[in-house]
Amino acid sequence: MVLPIAMEWRHLLFANWPVDPDVVATRLPAGLTVDTYDGRAWLSVVPYLNIDVRPRGVPGGVGFELPELNLRTYVTRDGEPGIYFFSLDAEGGLGVLGARLFHHLPYYYADIDMTVADGEIVFESDRRHPGAFPARFSGTYTPVGESFGPEPDSLAAFLTERYRYYTTGRDGAIRYADIDHEPWSLREASVTIETNTLFEANGFEPPAGSPICYYSHGVDITSSRNRRWR
């Protein structure tokens, strides 16, 4: 049995593009349904720093650091909302291997450089995973304005307040894990994206228009073990 984990997510950008639901539906495994807001599906690019990753119950300060970049969408299974990841790029080789083998998540090894200075975050990722489609991201983001908690039924809540992820096992069966953390505190974000090939690497045409962006300083989270859907 894989142990549940604890970690701290820091300096997150949620960059969100609306797309036609059919665009997403064709890329989902059987058993998952596209979740929509005002009739639109959403694709989100999320860079952040994962710190102190460790088995749940182990005291903080002994875990490892894992800068990460993911492309995700929003789904339901039997009415239960969650996130589905198309890809997760991370710098830690052992962490990537463990997540692929034991948590059934589509992680890829990448060279990632993340700097935080004077409230500005610069994030650059270059996928180096053997045999994988190349994927690059380079961007800068800065929080602006006052912090706020997403209102229930708002778009911000739809895109951030998710407490489950879905994935598939090697046998194709739907699997999931539950995530526990405090509600998000968000801010608007000023964002400049120089390079982003995550969409093409995952079989999507790049969405038109500018993304809706939110920033969060982060939350401390715990995750259940990954298990097969009942």
Per-residue tokens: 26: 């064709």
5-228 carries CATH number 2.40.400.10: yes
Can you give the residue ranges of every domain in the chain?
5-228
Say if CB 114 and CB 49 are below 8 A apart: yes
What pLDDT shows up at residue 61? Answer: 67
- What is the bridge-based pairing of β-strands 164-168 and 80-90? parallel
Asked if residues 83 and 31 have their Cβ atoms less than 8 Å apart, the reply is no
Per-residue pLDDT tens over the stretch 154-192: 999 999 999 999 999 888 899 999 999 999 999 999 999
Q: How far, in Å, are 3, 7, 124 from residue 181 at the CA level?
A: 18, 10, 27
What pLDDT does 222 receive? Answer: 92
Residue 107 has pLDDT above 90, yes or no: no
Distance between CA atoms of residues 124 and 42, nearest Å: 23
- Tell me: pLDDT of 120 over 70: yes
* pLDDT mean across residues, the chain: 91
Residue 97 is predicted with a pLDDT of 56
Residue 2 has pLDDT above 80, yes or no: no
Tens digits of per-residue pLDDT, 11-37? Answer: 999 999 999 999 999 999 999 999 999
Q: What is the pLDDT of residues 43-82, one digit of tens each?
A: 999 999 988 777 676 766 656 678 999 999 999 999 999 9
pTM: 0.93
